[in-house]
Every structure is written in C-alpha cells, then in structure tokens.
Structure 1
Amino acid sequence: MELPKIAAGGTVICNRKEGVIGAVIKYKGKNCILTVYHLIKVGKCKLGDILRTSEFKGRIIEILWDYDLVIAEIYAPTQLFEFSKIARPEIGPAYALKGEFKNPCNIMTTGKIYHYLSFAPRSIPTPGDSGSPIIQNGKVVGILASIFYNNATGIAVSLELFK
C-alpha cells in the first residue's frame, strides 16, 4: 500500500477541525507545512499542539501572528513530502487548490504581505477553503486567508518569507 503524499492542498486536522495545507516547506531544517492560523484557532489549537495530515502526526512549532500563518513540523519520511515551489505572483490567472478541486481565480494586486484575488461569483470559496494554496504557473504564490462575499474577492497571504 502506497502512503499518500503530503502536499499543498491536502488536509490538516487539529482537534477534529479540518484545514487545508497551504504549502509544504523546509523550515529550520525540518519538514513542515503552512496553513492559516485562524482555522487552527477554531479547533482550539495552539503552539506545541499535535495535529495530523494524511497518516502522520505533527506539531505546531511556530505561529506568525502578523501573517495569520501556522508552521507545523510533520513527522513523516522525507520521500512522502511534495515540497512546494514558492514564487512571487503576477497579476493574472491562478487557482485555489483544495484536495483535487481547482477553483479558478485572478490575482488582481500583489504585495509583500497580501495579494488580492477575484473569483467568479458562482465559485466563491467557502470558509472551509481558507488555507488553500494559490497556484500560478505550477508554483504556490500565496495562501487563501479571507473572502469578501459581497464582491467575490479575497485575500491571499504572501509567501515572500519562505522564498
């Protein structure tokens, strides 16, 4: 039986609250994932808490409050990690990834902390989509953090810190 890859767009769970893996990175020499903090907080998770993804456990090792990001080390064999290629976005088409589902969007503005996105009114992400990686040209260019339902736009956290 082949174990599933730990990849951007996959599921992360802390205290039975599901989130989305925004990116898979090497951080301070450890195999880690990034997701948005506000989803982990809903599960009443905090620094040092155990979480899991696929078949493996991990631990929250850092919270970047100013970016609404959580970094968690995952205890799994390195060959199971699909490390994200991180890039700076360009204005234009991209998509939010959750599992196998690709939700098309457009990057409207870019910045060092946030990028603004637009979605088709018929495919606005739901609250459970927070943490989804924003993919452009095969690279993760941000992590979905917030949606504005009144005008079908959203905000993605920049990954400039991890390039």
Structure 2
Amino acid sequence: MKLVVTRILKGYNIALIKLPPYTEIEITEFGSPAELELAVLVNDTRTINYCRVANSGASLLFLGFQCHDMPEPEDSGTPVLQGGKVIGMMTSTILDTCMGIAVSSKILRSL
C-alpha cells in the first residue's frame, strides 16, 4: 500500500501518514502515564508483557524493561499502554541499562 507522509517530526523520529478513505482502524484512547506503574507494549507481531514507567516528562517517557524481554529495533512505533489507553509510542532502547524511551501521549495528542 502506498501512503502519503504528511509531516515528519525529526526530534521524535515520527512520520505522520494520511490513511486512504474507508481504511479500517481501531481507535485507542490516550491516557496519562502513571509513574512506577506497569505498562505493556503491543503491536501486530508481538507483545512485551510488562515494563515500568520509570519517569514521565513533558515529552518523553523513560521505561524500565526486564532484560530478557526488551523491545527489538522493529518495535519502534509500538504503542505503550496502561489500563488499555495509549500513554506513549516506543522510540528507542538502551540495551546495557534495559531502559527504553517513548514519546509521551502529551505530544501524540497535539499532533
């Protein structure tokens, strides 16, 4: 499927696309991150059952993972969920500390 990129946010490594009319999608509500609470990453190929929101800033979330269940490079863009609501979108991992960085729902809401 060919899609049109409508905006690139270089600071967050995000490209926004325009979906064709009548594309079937499921809308998930945005939530606010709860620090030190568990979260889950879910995409179309796998689920990372648990990570913990270590810190949530104005634009980024810092996530702690179990070292044996870390996101892979292809997991970039995966939604981070708490209570069934999107609190962020995975952008990168730091393997030696088992930490990850996600764009906060505060930023995603403003797009």
Instruction: Give the TM bin, normalised by the shorter chain.
Output: 0.7 to 0.9
**Structure 2 Cα separation of the partners of residues 84 and 129 of structure 1:** 18
Alignment of 1:93 onto 2:35: no
Query: How much has 1:58 moved relative to structure 2?
Result: 2.1
Answer with 1 or 2: which has the greater Rg. Answer: 1
Alignment of 1:111 onto 2:57: yes
Alignment of 1:130 onto 2:40: no
Structure 1 moving runs of 4+ over 3 Å: none
* RMSD (Å) for aligned C-alpha atoms: 1.5
Matches within 5 A, 1:39-78: 52=1, 57-77=2-22
Amino acid at match of 2:93: I
Give CA deviations for 1:15-73 in whole Å, capped at 9, x if unaligned.
Answer: xxxxxxxxxxxxxxxxxxxxxxxxxxxxxxxxxxxxx4xxxx42110011222211101
Structure 1: gaps of 5 or more residues: 1-51
Q: Identity across aligned pairs (percent)?
A: 27
Tell me if the contact between 2:41 and 2:79 (Cα under 8 Å) persists in the aligned partners. Answer: yes
SS at match of 1:117: strand
Aligned to 1:148: 94
**Structure 2 Cα separation of the partners of residues 132 and 76 of structure 1:** 23
**Structure 1 Cα separation of the partners of residues 72 and 65 of structure 2:** 12
Alignment of 1:120 onto 2:66: yes
TM-score, with structure 2 as normaliser: 0.87
SS at match of 2:3: strand
Structure 2: gaps of 5 or more residues: none
Aligned to 1:84: 28
